[in-house]
Amino acid sequence: MKLMFVGAGAVGGYFGGRLVQSGHDVSFLVRANRAGQIERDGLRISSPLGDYRTTPQFHLLDGIDPDTDVAIFSCKAYDLGRVVDELTDRLPAGCLILPLLNGLKHYQFLDGVFGAERVLGGLCHIGATLTDDGEILHSNTLQFFAYGPRSEGQRQACSALDADIGRASFSPKLSSDIMWDAWEKYAMLAAYAGVTCLMNGAIGEILALPGGLDILLEAFDETSRVAALSGYAPRARFRDETIATFSDVRSRGTSSMLRDMRKGRRVEADHILGDMVHRAAAMSVRAPILRAAYAAVKRYELAARETAAATCNR
């Protein structure tokens, strides 16, 4: 199958690069500045699982292959609207959409633009960042990538995708219940990102504080109640794994949202925290920790806008 990653940042660049390394037919849709980096330095991955450097197929909007089978969206949520506006009339009519974005809010948007029958379910877990000079830094050994049908009519296409990439080096997974998997990830991520941003610290640092573990577990309880009322209660094994992650006193783990805040970058506050807070309110679920975390991140966004405005007015 012909696969096109929309973006070659930390997520798309890592998984797309590993697929290229495994010999798959992959291209990257990138902007001019990223195209220049790749042309000059290649696509570079630095990872505990092995470094990799290649010059893959890459192109701008006018270079999309008309035979592309699957477009894999790996952009940040705040860029999704602009990306979709640019792609709507350029993607082949039969091209499927596989989103790897955080949260769930994007599904309603993508369904409305492309039709639900074309939008597969997808998710990933990875600790990776893109440096200013274009290198992808993979910080640990986590590299989970899953896809699956959201409706019966998508099963054949997902099986074909799995037959093509299922043996790649990072062991992609065809999920039998991708939306349950997505809800579990969302419940964990909203709590993880929310508390690390609220406390401005890694998991181990938070656990060293009075009540730190209670705050982490209460946040996860808030998100789990929302998931359960939505029909996707986190399963026992996932709950146990999440509690273990949140209880690791040696962990230096932080959320990508906190890392972006520390670098003064844009964040996915509304897509991850805001959407969960709004869902909780609609279901009459008390979520004081999530609401505090969302307010804290929105305060960061406001301060960033104020700083930008002041700089422009000098």
The whole-number pLDDT of residue 308 equals 72
Q: Are 187 and 285 in contact (CB under 8 A)?
A: no
From its phi and psi, is residue 107 left (phi > 0), alpha (psi between -120 and 50) or beta? Answer: alpha
Task: With a cut of 80, say whether residue 94 has pLDDT above it.
Answer: yes
Residues 164-182 have pLDDT tens digits of 999 999 999 999 999 999 9
Domain ranges of the chain: 3-176, 181-311
Q: What is the mean pLDDT of residues 51-62?
A: 95
Q: Could you give the CA distance from residue 160 to residue 155 in angstroms, rounded to a whole number?
A: 9
Residues 227-274 have pLDDT tens digits of 999 999 999 999 999 999 999 999 999 999 999 999 999 999 999 999
**Matching CATH number, 3-176, of 1.10.357.10, 3.90.700.10, 3.40.50.720, 1.10.10.60:** 3.40.50.720
Task: With a cut of 80, say whether residue 307 has pLDDT above it.
Answer: no
Residues 18-43 have pLDDT tens digits of 999 999 999 999 999 999 999 999 99
Q: Is 185 a catalytic residue?
A: yes
Q: What is the mean pLDDT of residues 91-107?
A: 96
The whole-number pLDDT of residue 100 equals 97
Rounded to an integer, what is the distance from CA 173 to the centroid of its chain? 16
Fold exhibited by the domain 181-311:
N-(1-d-carboxylethyl)-l-norvaline Dehydrogenase; domain 2 (1.10.1040)
The whole-number pLDDT of residue 314 equals 63
The whole-number pLDDT of residue 144 equals 95
| Given the residues 76, 185, 263, 298, the one annotated as active site | 185
Rounded to an integer, what is the distance from CA 200 to the centroid of its chain? 20
Task: With a cut of 90, say whether residue 12 has pLDDT above it.
Answer: yes
Q: Could you give the CA distance from residue 98 to residue 113 in angstroms, rounded to a whole number?
A: 14
Q: Could you give the CA distance from residue 276 to residue 296 in angstroms, rounded to a whole number?
A: 15
Residues 147-159 have pLDDT tens digits of 999 999 999 999 9
Task: With a cut of 80, say whether residue 79 has pLDDT above it.
Answer: yes
Confidence of residue 313 (pLDDT cuts 50, 70, 90): low
The whole-number pLDDT of residue 58 equals 95
Q: Which two tokens stand for residue 26?
A: 């992959």
pTM over 0.85: yes
